[in-house]
Amino acid sequence: MPTGQTYIVQQGDCLSSIADSFDMLPKTVWDANSDLKQKRQNPNTLMPGDQLLIPAPRVKTFNGATDKQHRFVLKTVPTKIRLVIEQHQQPIAGKSYELTIDGKKLSGTTSDSGLIEVPLPAGAKSGVLEIPDAEIECELQFGCLDPLEEVSGAQARLQNLGYYYGDVDGEPSDEWSESLSLFQSDYGLDVSGELDGPTQQKLLAQHDKEHSNPTDAAPPAAAAGPSTTDVPPDESDVPSEEDDDAIFQAWEESDDS
């Protein structure tokens, strides 16, 4: 078995996008990186520069009978974006939104808790969210949220929460410290202006909110075009002859005789 290679995380990458580019399941890759797993906890936020060991592909053997058609199913891992959108700390509930990703327009309505949940096409890097009733137009960069323990990750979270207006550059500037103090005073924390433990925890609780009822959001409807996400993206049919190089994590045989 060939040894694995190391991949250096770039901005905009996340575990799923990296795994996808190596035709791997995210879990397979993540489990091969116990040190990073320990360090980052959350596989959805990696830091540019993090090194990820890509394990060598496993070989599966399949004996197929001749003169029969075989169907292989490539199991991919769907990713999604899920966000709660608020205005002045109140959820923007029941407003119609439009999300444009890769030129495709999805429209839907935010839930009572302001939730928007959309399956994400593989490789999508950014999208534009518009909520006309709330006068919101927001460019979303997917997979660009750095880990919480990094200044840049905390800056981006504080920006999302409406506290920080500076650059998300990892530089602990004056403005950054001011915003942090404001957040701390609003949430009854020790006003230190430093990214201390309790502040990190509060940021995590406020930004990466647990959401127990993910089916809350109405599924978005494809506004135009036949090939958008109304098909559940967890499995996609892949013609076997096109995928000599693909690693099939699961396969089925169908007898089409």
Partner 1 sequence: MAKTVLQRRIMRLLDEATYVNTINVTDQVAIEFVWYPGESGTPAIDSLVDTLVAAPGTDGAERKIEYTWARTGKVPVKRTMTSGRINIPLPPGATGVLTVFGTGWQITRAAVGAVLDPVATVQGMQERLNQLGYQLRVPGQKSNGVDGVAGRKTENAVLAFQTDYRPIAGAPAAAANRLSVRGEWALNPAIAANLNWYNQVGGGHPNVNPSGTDSAALQAALVAAAGA
At closest approach, how far in Å is the CB of 1 from partner 1?
Answer: 26
In the bound state with partner 1, the residue whose beta carbon lies nearer, of 67 and 135, is 135
Ramachandran area for residue 123 (φ above 0: left; ψ -120 to 50: alpha; else beta): left
Measured CA to CA, the distance from residue 80 to residue 120 in angstroms comes to 5
At closest approach, how far in Å is the CB of 64 from partner 1?
Answer: 31
Q: Which stretches of the chain bind partner 1, using CB under 8 A?
A: 14-17, 26, 43-45, 77-89, 92, 115, 120, 134-146, 156, 159-162, 165, 168, 174-175, 178, 181-182, 185-186, 191, 206-212, 214, 234
The values of phi and psi at residue 132, to 5°, are -60, -40
**Token pair listed for 151:** 């200044």
Nearest to 127 by CA among 18, 233, 221, 12: 12
Measured CA to CA, the distance from residue 158 to residue 162 in angstroms comes to 6
Tell me which DSSP letter residue 121 carries: -
At closest approach, how far in Å is the CB of 3 from partner 1?
Answer: 26
In the bound state with partner 1, the residue whose beta carbon lies nearer, of 160 and 240, is 160
At closest approach, how far in Å is the CB of 7 from partner 1?
Answer: 16
In the bound state with partner 1, the residue whose beta carbon lies nearer, of 61 and 89, is 89
In the bound state with partner 1, the residue whose beta carbon lies nearer, of 13 and 240, is 13
At closest approach, how far in Å is the CB of 63 from partner 1?
Answer: 32
Nearest to 97 by CA among 139, 141, 132, 138: 132
Give Cα separations from 248 to 23, 44, 180, 181, 252 (angstroms). Answer: 8, 23, 47, 50, 10
In the bound state with partner 1, the residue whose beta carbon lies nearer, of 69 and 190, is 190
């006309």: which residue's tokens?
132
Measured CA to CA, the distance from residue 90 to residue 111 in angstroms comes to 12
At closest approach, how far in Å is the CB of 237 from partner 1?
Answer: 19
In the bound state with partner 1, the residue whose beta carbon lies nearer, of 140 and 238, is 140
